[in-house]
């Protein structure tokens, strides 16, 4: 199959999917806020809410802007409209990725390494098992500011 045929098939599939019934979204509650590290807004960070315990909530994500502001979107909710009400654990991560001028072979990975990456936030906030961030999304609009510390207390 040629590239042209793949493009035609992709277009037909997109048109077919787009012509179905109107999508039914989950009932979501608006969630937005500011992420700070030691009181300074954190830009370009990924915020993820994970349902906790027996809650049947939906995972949701948001990305911070230059002022640290984020707004959540869930998989089954309307874009930018938050997530379902419930209890959540939260992770926040900010990766710095740089292309290396001189790629090298790393035998541990059995691959040529072309990029260097580094987490810019304290690692405790990046793993749901360790993150101390726990929040409740209530019915209605929610402003949930996430105040991170360089040296968090466990």
pLDDT exceeds 80 at position 18 = no
Backbone torsions φ then ψ of 47, nearest 5 degrees: -105, 130
Rg value, the chain, Cα:
20
Whole-angstrom Cα distance, residue 88 to residue 57?
A: 8
Global pTM?
A: 0.74
- The residue extents of the domains of the chain are 24-92+119-148
Q: What is the CATH number of domain 24-92+119-148?
A: 2.60.40.10
Per residue in 95-136, pLDDT (tens digit) is 887 777 788 788 888 888 787 778 899 999 999 999 999 999
CA torsion sign for 53, 55, 57, 62 is: negative
pLDDT exceeds 90 at position 3 = no
Region 1-30: what's the mean pLDDT? Answer: 60
Q: With cut-offs at 50, 70 and 90, classify the pLDDT of residue 138.
A: very high
Share of the chain above pLDDT 70, in %: 81
Per residue in 57-87, pLDDT (tens digit) is 789 999 999 999 999 999 888 788 899 999 9
Strand partners of residue 60: 49, 74
């Amino acid at each position: 199959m040629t590239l042209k045929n793949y493009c035609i098939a992709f277009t037909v599939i997109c048109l077919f999917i787009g012509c179905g019934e109107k999508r039914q979204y989950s009932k979501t509650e608006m969630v937005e806020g500011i992420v700070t590290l030691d009181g300074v807004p954190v830009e370009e960070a990924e915020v993820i809410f994970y349902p906790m315990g027996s809650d049947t909530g939906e995972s949701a994500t948001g990305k911070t802007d230059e002022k640290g502001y984020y707004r959540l979107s869930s998989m089954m909710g309307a874009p930018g409209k938050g997530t379902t009400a419930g209890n959540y654990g939260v992770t926040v991560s900010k990766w710095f990725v740089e292309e290396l001028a001189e790629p090298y072979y790393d035998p541990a990975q059995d691959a040529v390494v072309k990029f260097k990456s580094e987490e810019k936030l304290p690692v405790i906030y990046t793993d749901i098992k360790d993150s101390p961030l726990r929040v409740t999304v209530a019915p209605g609009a929610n402003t949930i500011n996430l105040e991170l510390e360089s040296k968090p207390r466990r």
